[in-house]
Amino acid sequence: MIKVSRLRKAFNGQPVLNGIDLDVPDGSITIIIGRSGGGKSVLLKHLIGLMRPDSGRIEVNGVDLGGLRGRALDEVRKRYGVVFQSGALFDSMSCRDNVTFPLREKFRLTRTNINRRVDRALEQVGLAGIGDKYPEEVSGGMRKRVAIARALVTEPEIVFFDEPTTGLDPVLVNTIHRLILDLHRKLHFTAVMVSHEIPEIFEIADRVGMLHEGRIVELGPPAVVQGSTNPIVQRFIHGEPDEQV
Amino acid sequence: MTEPAVTPALRPLEGLGRWATELVESLGRFGSFLAQALVALVTPPFKLWPLMGRIHYIGFRSLLIIALTGAFTGMVLGLQIFLTLSRFGSEAFLGPAVALSIIRELGPVLAALMVTGRAGSALTAELGIMRITEQIDALTVMALSPMRYLVAPSLLAGLITFPLMTALFDVIGIFGGYLVGVELLGLSEGTYFGEMQSFVDMGDVMTGFWKSVSFGIIVTWVCTYKGFHVARGAEGVAQATTQAVVLSSVLILVWDYFLGTVLP
């Protein structure tokens, strides 16, 4: 369970997160939506411990991330898998080595065991035959799949997705969403995703949170958010431009 | 609580104060970066393959440029010192003059400057690109220390390769001086090397060694720090690379003077 309370963050005096309250139940897919530049990725970076809040608490299974440093923070991160917006694959390694890397470095496993788990992870994302291709030699969609395989190969409890479908065509967007849903059903991880793929995300989310001007203005099951009476939520969902442009 | 407004007359003073604070802060970050890298260097698990990769990247791939600059530095020195000494009829001292200049001063400094230009800049650019493409963040969230995987191996590789490359530069430089002095200008081989043995002692070699070791730390420290803290995309990488090369080069020359006054 992830619980965020009164989280605040400002850059150069400019508030970006303005008192976020959010809870992510175990085993759910929670998707944070909101305008570009609205602080979604900043919120995600706080959840994965890459940024420290100015105030507020982020609890993961009852442990306050804000009070952790070094190895203690790494212990929490060992339960994480993260899929970055750009994929963040190591470009000096082949796609397969990218997936192998966290297993080889974080766990004491035999070579056979590592190969078996890597094969399984690549198969799960439909890339069994990726071979020794490098990230620059494969398409954007395949890079996203490799990034998902790398995030899931360690069998994490919580997986964070930072706009995993950015830059993909609508077919690939749906393919990646379906893949995430399938993997979630098989592996039962807790997923936190930042996205602005409307309306596709309503088909895979258990809960949707709308972030606006540094606050969660709506949070609940997709049907509740879609039926929200909040005009900010409705304008965003229907892609209506701001009144003052 | 809001800060009181500063009167126009005091604004330059305020600017100076802000600059001084930022300078002290950045020096603190710079020092703490080295401390973290050194801690990662001496605490297990030790990563052998990243170290071998860095030795190859910084050392092996710089061999050609080191050999070339070493040879021509020695040849220029051989020619210029021979012409100068011949005015006093002291050509016999060509060997020691070339050897001392190279071993104590030019070998460590020029080798370090060459490696800064070739490998240091590439190190900054590589880490900078890893930073802006979130590869360093990816390592961090995997609970794997970027210091241990990226910075510490570079630092240790610098410590190992700089003295070796300086030694190579020295040997090739002295041979370059030999080619010009002995083969071209007719000095006897025995005089060139014999006088060298009389005038060059272990203290001179150690001076060059300690200089090269410290330059190895300076170059890898500055270049990894600048690459690690890149911001603002491709422009930031270009800026960091330039800053890394300029700062490393200046520090090499300043530190060389300082060591020159301290070491025997």
Digit-coded pLDDT (tens) for B101-149: 999 999 999 999 999 999 999 999 999 999 999 999 999 999 888 999 9
Q: Please state, rounded to an integer, the average pLDDT across all residues of chain B.
A: 92
Distance from CA of B1 to the nearest CA of A (A): 13
pTM for the complete prediction?
A: 0.86
Cβ neighbours of B144 in A, within 8 Å? 102, 105-106
- Asked if residue A170 has a cis previous peptide bond (ω within 30° of 0), the answer is no
Residue % of chain A over a pLDDT of 70: 98
Output the DSSP codes for B7-45.
PGGGHHHHHHHHHHHHHHHHHHHHHHHHHHHHHHHHSSS
CB within 8 Å: B138 and A88: yes
Q: What tokens appear for A101 in the block? A: 């890397």
Q: What residues in B contact A77, CB-CB < 8 Å?
A: 140-143
- Would B10 be classed as within a structural domain? no
Q: Is residue B168 included in any domain, yes or no?
A: yes
Q: What is the pLDDT of residues A197-230, one digit of tens each?
A: 888 889 899 999 999 988 999 999 999 999 989 9
* Cross-chain Cβ contact A102/B134 below 8 Å: no
Evaluate if residue B170 carries a pLDDT over 90.
Answer: yes
Pairing of strands A63-64, A55-60: antiparallel
CA–CA separation, B231 and B128 (whole Å): 8
Spatial CA neighbour of B218 closest among B252, B174, B173? B252
Across residues A22-28, what is the average pLDDT? 91
Q: Which residue has the tokens 């900054």?
A: B124
List chain A residues with CB under 8 Å of B142.
77, 82, 101-102, 105-106
Give residue B158's pLDDT band: very low, low, confident or very high (50, 70, 90): very high
User: At A134, is the pLDDT very low, low, confident or very high (cuts 50, 70, 90)?
Assistant: very high
pLDDT of residue B1: 47
For A133, half-sphere exposure in the C-beta direction (CA atoms, 13 angstrom radius) is 14
Task: Supply the pLDDT for residue B232.
Answer: 81
Rounded distance between C-alpha atoms, residue B168 and residue B251, angstroms: 22
Cα–Cα distance, B108 to B167 (Å, whole number): 8
At A238, is the pLDDT very low, low, confident or very high (cuts 50, 70, 90)? confident
**Of A94-108, A223-237, B4-18, B243-257, where does the model show the most confidence?**
B243-257
pLDDT computed for residue B2 by the predictor: 53
Looking at residue A116, its pLDDT comes to 92
B120 within some domain: yes
Inter-chain CB proximity B144 and A106 less than 8 Å = yes
**CB B128 within 8 Å of CB B227:** yes
A241 — pLDDT class (breaks 50, 70, 90): confident
CB contact under 8 A, A50 and B141: yes
B131 in a domain, yes or no?
yes
Average pLDDT over residues A117-131: 86
Task: Kindly indicate the confidence band of residue A245, based on its pLDDT and cuts at 50, 70 and 90.
Answer: very low
User: Rounded mean pLDDT of chain A?
Assistant: 89
When CB atoms are compared, the residue of B135, B140, B143 closest to A90 is B135
Strand-pair partners of A193: A31, A161
What integer is the mean pLDDT of A30-47?
90
A69 in Cβ contact with A50 (< 8 Å): no
pLDDT over 50 (residue A153)? yes
Question: Residue A95 in 3-state DSSP?
Answer: helix
Distance from CA of A86 to the nearest CA of B (A): 7
The residue in chain B having the minimum alpha-carbon distance to the alpha carbon of residue A102 is: B142
The reported pLDDT for the residue numbered A243 is: 61
Flag whether B53 is in a domain.
yes
Give the pLDDT of residue B108.
96
Distance from CA of B131 to the nearest CA of A (A): 10
Given a cut of 80, is residue B264 above it in pLDDT?
no
In terms of residue numbers, what domain contains B202?
47-262
Q: Are B109 and B253 in contact (CB under 8 A)?
A: yes
Q: For the ranges A75-79, B55-59, B79-83, which has the lowest average pLDDT?
A: A75-79
**SS3 for A137-193, per residue?**
HCCHHHHHHHHHHHHHCCCCCEEEEECCCCCCCHHHHHHHHHHHHHHHHHHCCEEEE
pLDDT at A106: 85
Compare CB distances from B134 to A74, A86, A101 and report the shortest one's residue: A86
The per-residue pLDDT for B69 is 96
Across the interface, whether the CB atoms of B133 and A88 are under 8 A apart is answered yes
Pairwise CB contact (< 8 Å): B133 & A91: yes
Place of tokens 């690379």: B241
What are the C-alpha distances in Å from A75 to residues A35, A134, B96, B100? 33, 30, 60, 55
Would you state the pLDDT for residue A76? 87
- Per the domain annotation, does B19 fall within a domain? no
Q: Where are the domains of chain A?
A: 1-77+194-245
Q: In what order do the strands lie in the sheet with A215-220?
A: A80-83, A158-162, A190-194, A29-34, A207-212, A215-220
- Tell me: the pLDDT tens digits for B222-261? 999 999 999 888 899 999 999 999 999 999 999 999 998 8
Strand partners, A208: A31, A220
Which residues 6+ apart lie within 8 Å of A115 measured at CB?
A: none
Alpha-carbon distance B94 to B100, whole Å? 10
Assess whether pLDDT exceeds 80 at residue A57: yes
Min distance B63 CA to chain A CA atoms (Å): 22
Note whether A165 and A195 are within 8 A (CB).
Answer: yes
Question: What would the mean pLDDT of A46-50 be, rounded to a whole number?
Answer: 91
Q: Between 3.30.565.10, 3.40.50.2300, 3.20.20.20, 3.40.50.300, what CATH number should domain A1-77+194-245 receive?
A: 3.40.50.300
Cα torsion angle, A10, A14, A16, A21, sign? positive
